[in-house]
Structure 1
Amino acid sequence: MLAGKTALVTGSTSGIGLAVAQALARAGAKVMLNGSRPAADAEALRVELSAEAGVEVGYTQANLAEPASARALVEATIAAFGSVDILINNAGIQHVAAVDAFPDHTWDLLMAINVSAVFHTTKAALPSMKAKGWGRIVNIASAHGVVASPFKAPYTASKHAVVGFSKAVALEVAEQGITCNALCPGYVRTPLIEKQVVDQAKVHNMPEDRVIREVILAAQPTRQFVEADEVAAFAVFLCSDAARAVTGSVQLIDGGWTAR
């Protein structure tokens, strides 16, 4: 489906990003991984994915809080594979606190990674896409790009910004064979969430299955986690020729959360 294409996936050594990278590789795309794993672990992951999918896979570290580093990540992908045809902006961080107790430096870091890095990687990748007359940008936002939750004001603001940015980029490149969409998952089963389940079970003194249904997934009507592989499959579709007319959209995969 994506043979001959090159994909850069930020934050792709675990969780959603890794699932997306794996799915793109299995669809035939060369993939540049990115993350902060130790070099040996990252190399093992790169080799494993390349062997499994039968495509070239690279790995580049980048401090996405730094604009120059975000741009360098794109440049490294172009140097390794010749182009960036697919850009998946997945890297992100979250911190939960009331607004009046939220650390200033954490706000700055969250905005740098969740929002500014999306701008810098997109800006750096667009010339390569324009030169080929084909490109796919998928920004992994969140259901919090559409609705809000208390004590997550900065994260909510950042994801709303990503949604708006995606729409504007889509309009700018609509006639150049490039699409840009925001993919907005609800609660996804990841190692980070699984740790939260354990912690919340202790806090609320209740079994983990009740924590999942009554605390973590209280806003998600299906009472089931979205699986990372489901998000990945959606992302691959958005990168395919079948999604040529899908651009500037907000694609929700949230178990009905935002239907309320």
Structure 2
Amino acid sequence: MTLSGKTAIVTGSNSGIGLGIAQELARAGADVVLNSFTDRDEDHALAADMTQEHGVSVRYIKADLSSADACRALIAEAGACDILVNNAGIQHVAPVDQFPVEKWDAIIAINLSSAFHTTAAALPMMRAAGWGRIVNIASAHGLTASPYKSAYVAAKHGVVGLTKTVALETAEEAITCNAICPGYVLTPLVEAQIPDQMKAHGMDRDRVIREVMLARQPSKQFATVEQIGGTTVFLCSDAAAQITGTTISVDGGWTAL
């Protein structure tokens, strides 16, 4: 599954799932544009380290994806976009009647609207190149719901709908658009939550993972960032050329319930 000669832009990719995806795309031979809203020395150092490790071009471009203009400017500054991975996302948990309006607006902007803006900017580049892959990182919450996550669930359902629409609009071209729907993924952010959950529930590590954190994940195992990255690489391969407008769940059976 070589992606040599392709340029991939991965939003929200200086850590966690986005970084895992970027690493696997680079390992497959793609040049990669990393992105987040920060502009630190370590962001650019990360790109330099990946360049050295994989022998491809890796750049870091700052963009605040809560801004429509910044989303479109990210694609323009990259200069090429054969593969677009819309991964950036934030979360907030609260009942609907207590949900802060500013948090709702930010989640919809970053988790959903950013994917619209980057896709709209990238499609002309893909059409000019005669090839393209769009992979939207949705969630199990793009297919089902949980209480107190109204904005996140609404945004991720929206991402799935956007995915289907873009796929239909590009169906006769060599461009595909699909969504990956992860369940709980073991990222540094999730790992950092485990000790607090152990204290809160008075459980050891294994029990709190199985009974609290992975209560809705039948496999009782976290997905890994490498697995999400590998699924992304597959969707970018020739083997997936006729896979478009669909969702792939990487959720340990969550949405089978």
Q: How much has 1:253 moved relative to structure 2?
A: 0.6
| C-alpha contact 2:176 2:244 (8 A) present in aligned 1 | yes
Matched, 1:21 2:9: no
TM-score under structure 2 length normalisation: 0.98
| C-alpha contact 1:13 1:37 (8 A) present in aligned 2 | no
Q: Deviations over 1:17-43 (max 9, x none)?
A: 001101111111110000134521012
CA distance in 1, matches of 2:114, 2:36: 14
The secondary structure found in structure 1 opposite 2:8 is strand
TM-score under structure 1 length normalisation: 0.97
Counterpart residue number, 1:3: 4
Matched, 1:166 2:167: no
Stretches of 4+ aligned residues off by more than 6 angstroms: none
**Aligned match of 1:229 in 226, 231, 252?**
226
CA distance in 1, matches of 2:6, 2:44: 22
Counterpart residue number, 2:32: 31
Counterpart residue number, 2:130: 133
The secondary structure found in structure 1 opposite 2:179 is strand
**Aligned match of 2:201 in 195, 201, 204?**
204
User: Percent identity among equivalent residues?
Assistant: 58
The secondary structure found in structure 2 opposite 1:144 is helix
What are the within-5 Å matches in structure 2 for residues 1-260 of structure 1?
Answer: 1-78=2-79, 83-260=80-257
Q: Which runs of 5+ in 1 are unaligned?
A: none
CA distance in 2, matches of 1:163, 1:211: 31
Letter in structure 2 aligned against 1:242: A
CA distance in 2, matches of 1:141, 1:94: 13
Letter in structure 2 aligned against 1:141: A
Q: How much has 1:192 moved relative to structure 2?
A: 1.2
CA distance in 2, matches of 1:248, 1:16: 21
CA distance in 1, matches of 2:228, 2:203: 29
Task: Give the number of aligned pairs.
Answer: 256
Task: Give the superposed CA RMSD.
Answer: 0.8
CA distance in 1, matches of 2:196, 2:163: 34
Q: Deviations over 1:63-107 (max 9, x none)?
A: 0000000101000111xxxx2000000000011111111101000
